[in-house]
Amino acid sequence: MRTFLALCFALVLAVTLGACGGSAPSQEFGKEDVQQIHALVQNFIAAYNAKDVEKIVTFFSPTATIMPANRSILGGTESVKGFFNERLNVEGAGDLEIETLAVEGHGPLAYFAGAHVLYLKPAGAEPQRDRGKVMWILKKLGGQWKFDRQMMSSDLPPMVPAPEAPAK
């Protein structure tokens, strides 16, 4: 009887250890992840240049935070939507191009670093070429990469409002 119990215990232990090892899905960041992030960035550029704010918002996680150049930090879907609506439709941003500098990650987290060029064409003002940098931290949510944090910089100096005329 003792031999039978020992054999059963050994069998249960072997099955348990076998089930724990090697069968979990890989958390490694690989070539497929890099390709998905490149596709996400290309889709973002296309939506940006089409001024499709609704589409742009779908590329961000529900808890996304953006850190625009020379502005306050904005968090959440509605803030992201408001920023891009102003950027595209008031400031007239468009003709965005992004050069990839790096894409790396581990498990469900990644980062994308890039350099950008775009044009600002506000109504009634001269178009202005802007260039700068962008850094996205991405999360893999439900099998899809989403922008979670975005930091942008501009090589242009901050816009200074025109001085108001003195009251008469």
CA dist 56 and 89 (Å) reads 13
The model carries a pTM of 0.78
* 62-97: pLDDT as tens digits: 999 999 988 899 999 999 999 999 999 999 999 999
Mind listing the domains of the chain with CATH numbers? 28-154 (3.10.450.50)
* 110-144: pLDDT as tens digits: 999 999 999 999 888 889 999 999 999 999 999 99
Residue 112 to residues 63, 72, 137, Cα–Cα distance (Å): 18, 22, 7
Q: Do 93 and 51 contact (CB within 8 A), yes or no?
A: no
Give the model's confidence band at 23: pLDDT under 50 very low, under 70 low, under 90 confident, else very high.
very low
CA dist 95 and 46 (Å) reads 9
- Is pLDDT at 34 greater than 90 in this prediction? yes
Q: Do 72 and 157 contact (CB within 8 A), yes or no?
A: no
86 is written with which tokens? 């102003």
The predicted structure's pLDDT at residue 156 = 78
